[in-house]
A and B are shown apart, each in its own frame.
Chain A
Amino acid sequence: MSAVREAFARAAGERRAALVAYLTFGDPDPATSIEVVHAAVLAGADVVELGVPFSDPSADGPSIQRAMERALEAGATLAGALDAVAELRRRGVGVPIVLFGYYNPIFVMGAEAFAARARAAGVDAVLTVDLPIDELGELAAPLAAASIGVIPLVAPTSTPERIARVGAFAPPFVYYISLTGVTGARAGAPVDPARVDAIRAASGAPVAVGFGIRTPADAARVAAVADGVVVGSALVERVAAGAPADAPDRVAALVRDLAGALARPA
């Protein structure tokens, strides 16, 4: 079983949803962002999504856009993100790490070269927001050869026909975007349990739900129906909410609150 699946299974065994914490690599600078991620893991994140900054984040809202701009200003790159994963592994961080970003930096590095470097660094899976399942094959194949998974996205607009195709990638988990919009959007309608069940059944994979989840109360509502809860913009806003030196503490406090809210009703 992949490390990602093990993390979801462990959470399920504890009668709770897994907490997937998104943080942007390089924000506010590469060294601090490694401290922030490490603190989030110690505070209870089950899976880390490490955002790779991109100059044109067209699927992200203002909070993550600003984080990426700060990161790029501080010199963050895809190669730097891979180094950061290796550093986290050296520190003994064992939770699964998903690299989360846009395709062009990977394409420019070369998918094969990227796969080899990601494997060496200790990356478990990759999520590229601008590679829908129709285009995902060109990255999934070299990643699979390096034993790295891909995380497909499913949206409220995805048709049953599209959802049925997700399983072909044997994903470690499926990321269900719970509302139409960009990251950091306000919470929308409640997540439909039948929809989550349908995605789980079609893909044969755990389903993590993200977008619009900002507070422990939001997380608790989603944890009642999903296998995992993704929180991104709210954590990223904590990074920027004060002195950089205190960013790890600010993020850890929210992660602890979120992690404490994920128990499933018996």
Chain B
Amino acid sequence: MSRGTLDAIASLPEPVRGRFGEFGGQYVAETLMPAIAELELAWRAARGDAAFWAEVDALLADYVGRPSRLYRARRLSASVGADVWLKREDLNHTGAHKINNCIGQAVLARRMGKRRLIAETGAGQHGVATATVAALFGLPCEIYMGAEDVVRQALNVERMRLLGATVHAVESGTRTLKDAMNEALRDWVTNVGDTFYLIGSVAGPHPYPWMVRDLQSVIGREARAQILEGAGRLPDACVACVGGGSNAGGLFAPFIADAGVQLVGVEAAGEGVATGRHAATLGAGRVGVLHGSKSYVLTRPDGQIAHAHSISAGLDYPGVGPEHAAWKEQGRVRYVARTDDEALAALERLARTEGILCALETAHAIAALDEVAAAVGPTGIIIVGLSGRGDKDMVTVAQRRQT
């Protein structure tokens, strides 16, 4: 199994000199450069080491509960007019895909002898997953979370605290995910000797976008094998939501070489891209530099980072992983956007047709299904990345339904 993982990982595309095309790089303070170089060396060694993957795979199986199911959603299929299969990352321990990455980075941190974990979080799912692996590995853990997100994701804050993590509410800037990441970077630059920064998405300086995508590629590797087993052929399309882009990157990467598989990333259009209150970084942003990498960024004409907006805290981020920027430029992945209202309607639709309450992030992918179904036709097979469960969003959803 781990030999198989090693070979599967080795077949995924690699960045060249830290970049995917022109995107990526290491745009960080000099103080962090030696730490990033150390991380890159450690990651290269681990990536090529069957013993590393054996440890990761064992934890993913026994602790996370993998492989996650690929479930054929018959009533949703009938509703959208295509053959829709859901990759059930919501059934993982901690309720989202985030744990896949955290297990891998925690194993790496232990190999590197790091004794303290820090992380940023938006919706709180990555914070919960990080706090979980910190408890599992017996490491102290500090989580940075925008003060606005602390309020709208109070349940996840309580989960992190119960797991033993210290949660810092970040009051600077827009008080959301990007500011949490700034604060985590400040912690790392101050405590760089003993601290491992466990970035939650395919963002940040090289090697993070590459490492996180490889660790999340378990989603796509499993889904590819499962659809070949269950349907006898490759899908016509894969669909996933994109904030920073780790769930989409993990689902898409193993399908990149399958030219016949359409890949569709769904960003948050917030109140509508035309209103300016959105998080459609690839759709409406431009190339810029944020949080260590060159990629698409929501930026104002004067170069200040623009405020992102989404009902979903996990998509409320003005940057996106550099590999997505490269996939967009290559035309390999098509990126679309769905509004808050469309996501809410999709969340209800999935709940009523399949009895599954998904996260608001995930609901953006569901909201793009009609369009993708029209493209692939009634016998077309679509795999949807069901990235997380919706319990954390019930207060937000309930408030919106009352207004």
Contact A79 B302 (CB under 8 A): yes
**A153 to B28, alpha carbons, bound, how many Å?**
11
Are B35 and A157 in contact (CB-based, < 8 A)? yes
- Residues from chain A with Cβ under 8 Å of B27 in the complex: 103, 130-132, 135
Are B34 and A157 in contact, with the CB atoms below 8 A?
Answer: yes
A177 within 8 A of B: yes
A24-80 contacts to B (CB < 8 Å): 54-61, 65, 69, 72, 77-79
A158 at the interface (CB under 8 A from B): yes
When the two chains form the complex, which single residue of A55, A69, A182 contacts B186, counting CB atoms closer than 8 Å?
A: A182
Residue of A nearest to B25 (CB): A135
How far is it, in angstroms, between the C-alpha of A13 and the C-alpha of B220 when the chains are bound? 66
Closest Cβ of chain A: how far from B293's Cβ, in Å? 10
How far does the Cβ of B191 sit from chain A's closest Cβ, in whole Å? 8
Residue count of chain A within 8 Å CB distance of chain B: 43
Q: Tell me if B33 is interfacial: C-beta within 8 Å of chain A.
A: yes
**CB-defined contacts of A106 to chain B, threshold 8 Å:** 303
**Contact present for B31 and A180 (CB under 8 Å):** yes
A146 within 8 Å of B by Cβ? Answer: no
Contacts of B292 in A (CB 8 A): 130
| Chain B CB within 8 A of A198 CB | no
Q: Given A54-B304, A55-B305, is A182 in contact with B189 using a C-beta cutoff of 8 Å?
A: yes
Interface centre among A59, A60, A153 (most CB of B within 10 A): A59
Q: Which of B283-291, B332-340, B366-374 contacts A (4 or more CB under 8 A)?
A: B283-291
Identify the closest chain A residue to B191 (Cβ): A180
Most buried by A among B31, B182, B294, B305: B31
Contact B289 A104, beta carbon cutoff 8 Å: yes
CA of A180 to CA of B191, assembled, Å: 7
A142 at the interface (CB under 8 A from B): no
Question: Considering the chains assembled together, what is the distance between the CA atoms of A133 and B25 in angstroms?
Answer: 12
Binding site for A on B (CB under 8 A): 25-35, 172-173, 178-179, 181-182, 185-186, 189-193, 286-292, 294, 297, 299, 301-305
Interface residues of A (CB under 8 A from B): 54-61, 65, 69, 72, 77-79, 102-109, 129-135, 152-159, 162, 177, 180-182, 185
**A-B pairs with beta carbons under 8 Å apart, 10 shown:** A56-B173, A57-B182, A78-B302, A79-B302, A102-B289, A132-B30, A154-B30, A155-B30, A180-B193, A182-B186
Closest 7 CB pairs of A and B: A105-B303, A108-B303, A155-B31, A58-B182, A153-B30, A77-B302, A58-B185
